[in-house]
Amino acid sequence: MAAFTFGVELEAAYFYTTKPGKAGIISSRHEELAPVIDMSLDAIQRRNPDFASERFRVDEYMLLELERYVAEVVQDFVNALPETSRGEVIPLTKDPILNQYRQWRVGHDNTIMLDFSRSYTYTTLRWAPLEVQSPAMYATEGAFKEVEAVTDMLRTSFRTTVNPSCGLHVHIGWGPKLFPLEMLKKMAAIVWAGDCLFQQMHPVSRRHNRYCQGPRTDSLLEKGHKAAKYNPPSKGVPRSVA
């Protein structure tokens, strides 16, 4: 049997500023906090000389540059970890989509929301909804240490907040292979049978979040469907489920 693999997605709101010297953003009151990301034009072009000045303060380009910078910091940090604190990623395959999950990545997640009306402290800051994604790694002690190390680094390197709209996702896999259909059926049965227990592991804010409802709350089976309809594939898992 192939070894199990996993990957995590860490969601948070990352604070940044285009005017690092502005009063109220960088001050002695905040020395105990992690630094705000400097997204002034000078700072961006020092990190990325190819960044064109006409793209400055254009939301789309600023977000892409922010993602690129955080991803670079994460990857540099991981590359410097000792081998005992590194995980083993899935091997290179002929599938270009699967190969994307062989390194740490950063993307944006529009499900993250902040309500500044509840706090005046950060009203002068800008923020970006980012999701840091780990590679697909075999479930070993080294991989767990790598995820823990990156999580600690993010906490101390970037000023972030994790509110109830943010999530932590853990994906599991079977290496570079697809789960056999019979194994998926057994997993689905366990999730259905234990859903009430699994939900108790989540904070109340997540139990009532529409993005993470359990199968006994929001699924075809819960809605009364007797059997799933699918097109039997030649091998592996179903291609589509109605």
Domain residue spans of the chain: 5-171, 178-242
Cα 170 → chain centroid: 9
Is the pLDDT at 234 greater than 70? The verdict is no
Other C-beta atoms closer than 10 Å to the C-beta of 209 total 15
Bridge partners, 132 (sequence order) = 10, 106
Structure tokens at 31: 């020395």
Each residue's pLDDT tens digit, 82-133: 999 999 999 998 989 889 999 999 999 988 988 765 544 555 688 999 999 9
Type of residue at 190 = I
| pLDDT at res. 193 | 93
Burial class (CB in 10 A: 0-12, 13-18, 19+), 139: middle
pLDDT digits (tens, 9 = 90+) for 215-224: 888 888 888 7
DSSP letter (8 states) at residue 87: P
Which of 14, 39, 36 has the alpha carbon at shortest distance from 27?
36
Tell me which of 204 and 53 has the higher pLDDT. 53
109 contacts 11 by C-beta, under 8 angstroms:
yes
Instruction: For 146-205, write each residue's pLDDT tens digit.
Output: 999 999 999 999 999 998 888 889 999 988 888 899 999 999 999 999 998 888 888 887
